[in-house]
Homo-oligomer: A and B are copies of this chain.
Amino acid sequence: MIHPKLPKIWYGGDYNPEQWGPEEWKEDHRMFKLAGIDVVTINVFSWALNQPDEHTYDFAWLDETMDRLHADGIGVVLATSTAAHPAWMAKRHPDVTRVDFYGRKRRFGGRHNSCPNSPTYRKYSGRIASRLAERYKDHPALLLWHVSNEYGGYCYCERCEAAFREWLQNRYRTLDAVNQAWNTRFWGHTFYDWDDIVLPSGLSEEGEGNVSAFQGISLDYRRFMSDSLLACYKIEAEAIREHSKDVPITTNLMGTYPELNYFDWAKEMDVISWDNYPSLNTPVSETAMVHDLMRGLKDGMPFLLMEQTPSQQNWQAYNSLKRPGVMRLWSYQAVARGADTVMFFQMRRSIGACEKFHGAVIEHAGHEHTRVFREVAELGKELQRLGDSLLDARSDAKVAILYDWENRWAVELSSGPTVELQYVREVHKYYDALFKLGIQADMISVEADYSRYDIVIAPVMYMVKPGVAKKLEAFTAAGGTFVTTFFSGIVNENDRVTTGGYPGELRPLLGIWAEEIDALPAGQYNQIVMKEPFGELDGSYDCEMLFDLIHAEGAEVLAEYGSDFYQGMPALTVHAYGKGKAYYVATSAAPGFLRPFLAKLCADQGVKPLVERLPDGVEAARRVKEGRSFLFLLNHNADLAAVDIGSGKRRDLLSGQILSGTVELPGRGVLILEEV
């Protein structure tokens, strides 16, 4: 996004001046200038301040804030303040609070606290969005609208139940269709009246931790809740759009957050933004994958890094400081993968309530003489130097990984065959192998256009939605390479099994059928034994968790199981399909297998790594635009790493140096290399 008012990588973050006074505001502005801050997000949690009662709105503080920021050249991402309803509203209109999974009526408290089907919430959130849009639509500081904040959380109230029944009527039209979709003859759950349907909760079909007696209803409730929260977003977005025609609208997402189908959400958002909070033990390749997923939400469109911490978090078990250089490194990781902004939570640390131990640009000490501030200020200067050169540059990946929230819901709701199976972890295994090979990948929706890729990978494609099998066949027939795994092709979009033999609709493409699925306890292994060398694959590799017992029916067997009663049955197959090939990995393979396996597939398709022989811990990514190509090299190691960038000359955007051959990156160092 190249914003006309601020055509550079935005730099700033969440700012709550309402918690402070004139003295601090003055200091804030002084320090913003020192740090090159040019954008702040305000008004995120100010509903109670803006609307002290049912009939009164008071934006005086916001007028002053907008003007003050603008006077100092700081742009504003203006939130709608609806992320937490006011206390008076909960008291006067109890419908605004949620009912929890066990049927307990929540009272005022916390955030993410509004029932998405509450008439009160919908009315007042729309109304305040409208008032804000009307008032600030032409304010010169306004850059972007930010609706609510980190939508999430389900409700189980009677109003949601009634809305769920309506939603079902829209989706299925007849009760017969519902009964069939959910297979309600099982356990005698046939519904004869729409009102017979009870929402799935801890009091009806579900238990703690994605446990459900009826996957069909639970799956639909997740769809319905995602839609219900999205409807809240849309109410506000439409209210804004009535007044403010051109300013883009977003809300901040949360990566692989499980509760919302972000591919649906993306359709309603002008631009994606998200909050990046890796845990202490999140692999860097997982952060990279999630950035790529956020980029994939709108077909490769760059996104806003809306929040990250400059130093430490507060809600992890152990909140370690980001080591020196790490904040800069991770900021460039975001940019490398599609971010056109670098923004923080929070500009100034609050002094009370639960986020007072969350890092901030301006710490409790209140001055600029801190390590954290120095690192922030240095990065600010660099970003100013980068100007608009990277803005709106895209990925040119030839490999895509399919990601699907509804498939994830279905996989994790499944009762059997194992509790170990986690969708994101399996997807990440494939992503990580590519990452370490230096192969760029896109994370895309099953609805996306596959034809721009050479290789499409669908780990654990348990749910095959209507039309997808045909699309994959067409892709492969046209010369593409398709890869999928164990526990794929099992059910349709309603979690009903496709009978006749797994992998159901994918059988013709894969040329196999799976007779049984074995599960072994954590810590027990079988082996993938190669029948003959395949690229660098040779010999035996560990595999675990689930083991499809497959038969080739047209496919060639590349590897077999190494032990147990299914020793000698196929563990890896390839099926020639049209001009392409379809691979089936029948079990959860160790990284030692996946990396050479994917290397071979890429080599066969002529997909080259961004950098050959990428050292451990060094990340490579590329953005391109208008014939220009920017290669990012990010050294996640604490120590120096040497990378061979080839003989072509490249200019480092950060240092201005011209480089070629073997270059050295200091620990946590970054290069942004443009071909010259």
The interface of chain A, by Cβ under 8 A from chain B, is 16, 18-19, 45-49, 52-53, 81, 83-88, 90-91, 100, 102-111, 181-193, 195-198, 200-201, 203-206, 212-216, 280, 311-321, 323-324, 349-358, 363-366, 370-372, 414-420, 494-497, 499-502, 513, 515-522, 549, 565
| Cα separation A205 to B85 with both chains bound (whole Å) | 14
Query: Closest CB-CB distance, A352 to chain B, in whole Å?
Result: 3
| Cα separation A521 to B86 with both chains bound (whole Å) | 37
| Cα separation A198 to B107 with both chains bound (whole Å) | 7
Interface residue from B201, B203, B317, B497 paired with A418 (Cβ < 8 Å): B317
Q: How many copies does the complex hold?
A: 3
| A213 with B109: CB separation less than 8 A | yes
Query: Closest CB-CB distance, A341 to chain B, in whole Å?
Result: 24
| Cα separation A63 to B117 with both chains bound (whole Å) | 46
| A81 with B188: CB separation less than 8 A | yes
| Cα separation A358 to B213 with both chains bound (whole Å) | 13
Question: Contacts A185-B19, A186-B45 hold; do A497 and B312 have CB atoms under 8 A apart?
Answer: no
| B521 with A214: CB separation less than 8 A | no
Interface residue from B52, B190, B501, B518 paired with A48 (Cβ < 8 Å): B190
Residues from chain B with Cβ under 8 Å of A354 in the complex: 212-215, 415
| A188 with B88: CB separation less than 8 A | no
Residues from chain B with Cβ under 8 Å of A104 in the complex: 102-103, 203
| B515 with A192: CB separation less than 8 A | no
Query: Closest CB-CB distance, A272 to chain B, in whole Å?
Result: 24
Question: Contacts A213-B354, A419-B318, A519-B312 hold; do A111 and B49 have CB atoms under 8 A apart?
Answer: no
| Cα separation A565 to B326 with both chains bound (whole Å) | 12
Residues from chain B with Cβ under 8 Å of A191 in the complex: 87
Question: Contacts A193-B88, A204-B108 hold; do A516 and B371 have CB atoms under 8 A apart?
Answer: yes
Q: Name the residue on B nearest A354 (C-beta).
A: B415
Query: Closest CB-CB distance, A157 to chain B, in whole Å?
Result: 13
Interface residue from B85, B280, B364, B518 paired with A499 (Cβ < 8 Å): B364
Q: Which 8 A-B pairs have the closest CB atoms?
A: A183-B352, A314-B416, A109-B204, A357-B416, A87-B196, A351-B497, A109-B205, A186-B353
Residues from chain B with Cβ under 8 Å of A18 in the complex: 185
Residues from chain B with Cβ under 8 Å of A371 in the complex: 515-516, 549
| Cα separation A193 to B350 with both chains bound (whole Å) | 24
| A364 with B497: CB separation less than 8 A | yes
Q: Name the residue on B nearest A197 (C-beta).
A: B87
Interface residue from B324, B356, B499, B517 paired with A351 (Cβ < 8 Å): B499
| B204 with A110: CB separation less than 8 A | yes
| B203 with A317: CB separation less than 8 A | no
Residues from chain B with Cβ under 8 Å of A549 in the complex: 371
List 14 A–B pairs whose Cβ atoms lie within 8 Å, in order of A's numbering: A48-B189, A87-B191, A91-B196, A108-B196, A109-B200, A215-B354, A312-B518, A315-B416, A319-B417, A321-B516, A321-B519, A351-B496, A357-B415, A358-B416
Task: From A106, A109, A349, A356, name the one whose CB has the most chain B CB atoms within 10 angstroms.
Answer: A109
| Cα separation A106 to B365 with both chains bound (whole Å) | 47
| B417 with A88: CB separation less than 8 A | no
Interface residue from B46, B47, B418, B494 paired with A352 (Cβ < 8 Å): B494
| Cα separation A258 to B370 with both chains bound (whole Å) | 37
Residues from chain B with Cβ under 8 Å of A187 in the complex: 45, 83-84, 110-111, 353
Residues from chain B with Cβ under 8 Å of A109 in the complex: 198, 200, 203-206, 213-214
| A352 with B497: CB separation less than 8 A | yes
| B519 with A196: CB separation less than 8 A | no
Interface residue from B103, B206, B356, B500 paired with A365 (Cβ < 8 Å): B500
| B351 with A87: CB separation less than 8 A | no
Residues from chain B with Cβ under 8 Å of A103 in the complex: 104-105
| B414 with A357: CB separation less than 8 A | yes
Query: Closest CB-CB distance, A448 to chain B, in whole Å?
Result: 28
Residues from chain B with Cβ under 8 Å of A100 in the complex: 203
Question: Contacts A319-B519, A415-B355, A516-B370 hold; do A188 and B48 have CB atoms under 8 A apart?
Answer: yes
